Structure 1
Amino acid sequence: MSGARPGSGAEAVHPDLAGAVAVVTGGGRGLGLSMARALGRQGCHVALLDLLPGVEDTGAELASETGLPALGRGADVTDAGDLRAAFDAVAERLGTPRVLVTAAGIAAWADAEDQPPEQWRRVLDVNLTGTFLACQAFARHALPAGRGAVVTVGSMSASIVNVPQHQAAYNASKAGVEHLTRSLAVEWAPRGLRVNAVSPGYTLSDMTRQFTDARPELRRRWEELTPMGRMGEPSDLDGVVAFLASDAARFVTGQAIVVDGGYTLL
């Protein structure tokens, strides 16, 4: 397929995704954009939703890469009305969304005893409430169609406490995302929607670089704690996302697939 990268882990192996409309929140850069590209290589018509300036141009670039319809649109995942309008626009331009990936997320390093309440709320608002609102907006289109797949982006931080950073808000938000995933999976399974999570370990991304750029020793520590001896690449998630979005996972729902190089085994 046009735009495929050998060895990316997400070559076009799921023919049922060809022509499916996929929406990726946080799709303007980082893990979200990598996942969007992976779905594009599967033949999906992809919509990138993000507040980043230039997301419209990124959508146009994705369309050029894949030779398929794609778009970028500004959207705030903490604003239910904004998300509804964005999904309505996607449905009008590309068709009924069949796949959702909720990659919008932020992190904060703060000592719990001193963390400002507004910072705590912001992390929960974007990571947890934003995931719920995106799922809600997606479901308004996918449930009437009786078919759809949601891939939330959790984290290994949902089940372990990362060290040495202090990130109680992030950990709590991702634990919430994974239990939300299970809750929606049970509620929507009888109506044709599957809901699963991909849960990355330490992965080279814009989010992790905000910490490693300030504290270079962090990357060395994280790699030492990972049995595979390295941080993940965004493309390490591509195959899992494509699988969960596709009919190959038609009997899989409510699961969180950890992609962490073995970190949580120790």
Structure 2
Amino acid sequence: MFKHNLLRQVSRASATGLRPPTVAAATRCATRPFSNAIGLRDKNDDEHQFDQYSTSGEQGADIHEGQYSRTDKRIRVEYPEEEGLPRQKPVQGRGGYHFKRTLASFSLEDRVGVVTGGARGLGLVMSQALVISGADVAIVDMNKEEADHQAKILVEGFKKENPGAEKIPKVTAHYADVSSPDSVNSAIAGILEAHGKIDNLVTSAGFTENYDAIEYPYERMQKLWGVNVDGTYLFATGVAKHLMERKAKGSIVFIGSMSGAIVNVPQPQAPYNAAKAAVRHLASSLAVEWAHADIRVNCISPGYMLTALTRKILDDNPELAQKWISLIPQGKMGRPEDLMGAVTFLCSDASGYVTGSDLRIDGGYTVT
């Protein structure tokens, strides 16, 4: 019975589809003759109130056109010289023994991590994350004095927060101009002399400047690329060579930026954006190239982070803060400590099957 009724309904529907249109249906059809050509909008048609917002409208028809999605060439931020960089304090630690349960695979005990640009900003907090997770750490920075200062503070902080700890992490400071092959090789040699090996690398050395592309001095662009791209490549290849000679597995984490995937507004920074896009794809490329040696390479791409230097920039350009947070779905800038878990995860065995990835930590900025 069910099959019979179903066939009858299909037959009825088919017959209805073939039935010629009634007079009433015909009167509802448009009287304009059919044409295969795609016609332009009839100029005599009444203009819709929002036509000015389409491509048929004149440029500048509304004061709000693209106001939150364009760069502003009036914004110019130069990366300060060394003496102009603000000192940063490590974040507050755990306040004693950490009794909360977590996976043992997140531990970095008996590992040696290298953090470039580790004396300030995101690099300092990442150095602290490795120390808290049990690793010995080599801080690499252009400012050796600041690196020495922070290395001592990290060790003192660990002792204070872990009274009676059987093993105190060894934290050393090393100078390097990451854009110089000779300087990088010398720093790696010094790290191996101090620690005997390298297991993890975090390439946090980098900087940004805000210039209209046409006006950006070429020599400054070369310096920016030298630190952000060349420095990442030189340290990564140097550490990978050491790991291969040891026949040891390792994990390398590049610090990119959401700027490698999107265009920041309103500050103009085309060379920096391109540099971070290069870092992101370099991570993917080296992940494939070194997979046979059990060397994992991943990238962390932070969004707007409220570092000491960011505070200085916002002090000079207070209008930027409101524009930035208006474009972040979470409505907040991140803090450097928001990256501690990510760098620990990617350096540890907890991410043993993760390579070639780009982990964006941006409050949702790049998905809108």
Query: TM-score, normalized by length of structure 2?
Result: 0.68
1:16 Cα offset (Å)? 4.3
1:5 paired residue number? 94
- Per chain length, whose mean CA-contact separation is higher, i.e. which structure has more relative contact order (CA < 8 Å, sep 6+)? 1
Distance between the aligned counterparts of 2:157 and 2:102, measured in 1? 14
- Is this contact kept in 2: 1:151–1:197, CA < 8 A? yes
For 1:35, the aligned partner's letter is M
Aligned residue for 1:238, secondary structure, equals helix
Distance between the aligned counterparts of 2:236 and 2:325, measured in 1? 33
2:120 paired residue number? 29
Aligned residue for 1:17, secondary structure, equals coil
Aligned residue for 1:198, secondary structure, equals strand
Residues 43, 235 of structure 1: CA spacing in aligned structure 2 closer, same or farther, 3 A cutoff? same
1:236 Cα offset (Å)? 0.5
Distance between the aligned counterparts of 2:275 and 2:129, measured in 1? 26
1:75 Cα offset (Å)? 1.1
2:186 paired residue number? 85
- Is this contact kept in 2: 1:78–1:129, CA < 8 A? yes
1:220 Cα offset (Å)? 1.4
- Is this contact kept in 2: 1:107–1:207, CA < 8 A? no
Q: Do structure 1's residue 56 and structure 2's residue 131 form an aligned pair? A: no
TM-superposition CA deviations, 1:184-205 (whole Å, max 9, x none): 1011110110000000001112
Distance between the aligned counterparts of 1:46 and 1:177, measured in 2? 23
For 1:31, the aligned partner's letter is L
Q: Which has the higher strand share?
A: 1
Q: Do structure 1's residue 180 and structure 2's residue 272 form an aligned pair? A: no
Q: Do structure 1's residue 215 and structure 2's residue 317 form an aligned pair? A: yes
TM-superposition CA deviations, 1:233-252 (whole Å, max 9, x none): 00111111100001111111
Distance between the aligned counterparts of 2:243 and 2:362, measured in 1? 31
- Is this contact kept in 1: 2:106–2:349, CA < 8 A? no
Structure 1: any 5+ residue segments left out of the alignment? none
Match of 1:75 among 170, 173, 176: 176
TM-superposition CA deviations, 1:85-105 (whole Å, max 9, x none): 111111121121000000000
Distance between the aligned counterparts of 1:209 and 1:183, measured in 2? 34
1:264 paired residue number? 366
Distance between the aligned counterparts of 1:222 and 1:4, measured in 2? 29
1:104 paired residue number? 205
% identity of equivalent residues: 42
Match of 2:136 among 28, 31, 45: 45
- Is this contact kept in 2: 1:12–1:41, CA < 8 A? no
TM-superposition CA deviations, 1:23-81 (whole Å, max 9, x none): 00000011000001001010000010001232112112222223311111111101111
Instruction: For 1:150-229, list aligned pairs within 5 A.
Output: 150-229=252-331
- Is this contact kept in 1: 2:106–2:350, CA < 8 A? no
- Is this contact kept in 2: 1:25–1:50, CA < 8 A? yes
1:169 Cα offset (Å)? 0.9
Instruction: For 1:140-159, list aligned pairs within 5 A.
Output: 140-145=241-246, 146-159=248-261
Structure 2: any 5+ residue segments left out of the alignment? 1-91, 159-167
Distance between the aligned counterparts of 2:113 and 2:325, measured in 1? 33
- Is this contact kept in 2: 1:194–1:254, CA < 8 A? yes
Distance between the aligned counterparts of 1:88 and 1:4, measured in 2? 31
Residues 212, 12 of structure 1: CA spacing in aligned structure 2 closer, same or farther, 3 A cutoff? farther
Residues 238, 118 of structure 1: CA spacing in aligned structure 2 closer, same or farther, 3 A cutoff? same
Rg larger in structure: 2
Residues 171, 135 of structure 1: CA spacing in aligned structure 2 closer, same or farther, 3 A cutoff? same
For 1:225, the aligned partner's letter is L
Aligned CA RMSD, in angstroms, stands at 1.9
TM-superposition CA deviations, 1:207-262 (whole Å, max 9, x none): 43343122111111111111111100001111111000011111110011000001
2:67 paired residue number? none
1:116 paired residue number? 217
Residues 22, 189 of structure 1: CA spacing in aligned structure 2 closer, same or farther, 3 A cutoff? same
Distance between the aligned counterparts of 1:111 and 1:57, measured in 2? 36
- Is this contact kept in 2: 1:34–1:234, CA < 8 A? yes
1:113 Cα offset (Å)? 1.0
Aligned residue for 2:110, secondary structure, equals coil
Distance between the aligned counterparts of 2:182 and 2:364, measured in 1? 40
Query: Please, which moves more after superposition, 174-183 or 210-219?
Result: 210-219
Aligned residue for 1:164, secondary structure, equals coil
Query: TM-score, normalized by length of structure 1?
Result: 0.93
Distance between the aligned counterparts of 2:196 and 2:157, measured in 1? 20
Count of residues in correspondence between the two structures: 262
Distance between the aligned counterparts of 2:367 and 2:106, measured in 1? 34
Aligned residue for 1:213, secondary structure, equals helix
